[in-house]
């Protein structure tokens, strides 16, 4: 009876390790996650003054953005690609 308990315990241990390994491999790495920048701080990333950035954003309402609880955030990677393609 004691040997059966050890075998069942080892099987459960192997199952939990395998399922943990699957979920570990499927998670996005930190570099794949989007960094969200508030509108008030966005000009710092593009070496523009605040007035120029506000003018750019007001003239281009299609810029990639996310609004959360009334605050506008810009996904940095997507915005960089958009900025590069619109400022050639």
pTM for the model stands at 0.59
- The token pair that represents 64 in the structure block: 């990639």
pLDDT means per 10 residues, the chain with 88 residues, are 85 83 61 79 91 92 91 91 83
What pLDDT is stored for residue 8 in this prediction? 86
Q: Put residue 69 in one of left, alpha, beta given phi > 0 → left and psi -120 to 50 → alpha.
A: left
CA 7 to chain centre: 42
**Where are the chain's structural domains?**
33-86
Widest Cα–Cα separation across the chain: 77
What pLDDT is stored for residue 9 in this prediction? 86
- The token pair that represents 21 in the structure block: 């390994």
What is the CATH code for 33-86? 3.90.105
User: Is residue 65 classed as helix, strand or coil in its secondary structure?
Assistant: coil
What pLDDT is stored for residue 64 in this prediction? 93
């Amino acid at each position: 009876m004691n040997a059966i308990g050890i075998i069942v315990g080892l099987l459960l241990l192997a199952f939990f390790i395998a399922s943990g390994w699957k979920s570990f491999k499927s998670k996005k790495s930190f570099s794949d996650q989007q960094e969200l920048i508030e509108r008030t701080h966005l000009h710092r990333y593009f070496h523009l003054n605040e007035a120029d950035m506000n003018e750019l954003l007001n003239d281009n309402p299609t810029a990639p953005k996310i609004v959360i609880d009334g605050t506008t955030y810009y996904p940095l990677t997507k915005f960089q690609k958009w900025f590069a393609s619109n400022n050639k």
